[in-house]
């Protein structure tokens, strides 16, 4: 097990049970250690993103959905599937006004990566990937029904 993996897992287990501000402070303390490796740094940033996205969207007015933390997590580990799922979840939940938080192109790019790496995902990540993609297809179907195809002129 990596040096900080166990501690980050313990903090993740406390999500929702302890004050989010204190939890984020504990994670940030770990992230400041100069010996932290990139995988653990990515996991810590993703955990902050998850807290902001799932529990306490009001805590960071500059990053109310955790998007910026998910993006930073991917800079340290491009295969952080939880960060990818966080970003595509934001698109699925907040598609309107379209492309204001996560662009459709970004959503598609990350969904394609999750599908390409599907065999590497945990069962929960696989389930979330499929659910998010189904939500995207529902959105596109609704938009086509309402507005037609953008490339088709009558």
Residue in the block written with tokens 């994670």 = 27
Contact criterion met (CB below 8 Å) for 48 and 82: no
Model confidence at 75, in pLDDT bands (50, 70, 90)? Answer: very high
Q: State how far the Cα of 1 lies from the Cα of 86, in Å rounded to an integer.
A: 24
Interval 6-15: pLDDT, tens: 889 888 888 8
Q: Where are the domains of the chain?
A: 1-77, 79-149
Q: Among 40-54, 103-117, 133-147, which is the least confidently predicted range?
A: 133-147
- pLDDT greater than 90 at residue 85: yes
Q: Which residues, other chains included, contact 154 with Cβ-Cβ below 8 Å and sequence gap of 6+? A: 148
15: phi > 0 → left, psi -120 to 50 → alpha, else beta; which?
A: beta
SS3 of 13-36: HCCCCCCHHHHHHHHHHHHCCCCC
pLDDT at 97 exceeding the cut of 60 = no
* DSSP 8-state class, residue 124: H
Higher pLDDT, 64 or 77: 77
Mean pLDDT of the chain: 88
């Amino acid at each position: 097990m990596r040096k900080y993996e166990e501690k980050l897992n313990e903090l993740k287990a406390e999500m929702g049970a302890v004050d989010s501000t204190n939890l984020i402070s504990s994670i940030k303390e770990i992230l400041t250690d100069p010996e932290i490796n990139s995988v653990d740094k990515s996991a810590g940033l993703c955990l902050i993103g998850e807290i902001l996205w799932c529990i306490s969207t009001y805590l960071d007015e500059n990053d109310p959905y955790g998007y910026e933390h998910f993006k930073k997590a991917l800079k340290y580990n491009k295969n952080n599937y939880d960060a990818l799922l966080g970003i595509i979840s934001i698109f699925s939940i907040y598609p309107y006004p379209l492309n204001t938080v996560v662009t459709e192109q970004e959503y598609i790019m990350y969904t394609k990566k999750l599908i390409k790496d599907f065999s590497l995902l945990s069962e929960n990540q696989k389930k979330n990937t499929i659910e998010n993609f189904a939500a995207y297809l529902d959105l596109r179907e609704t938009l086509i029904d309402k507005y037609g195809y953008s490339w088709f002129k009558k």
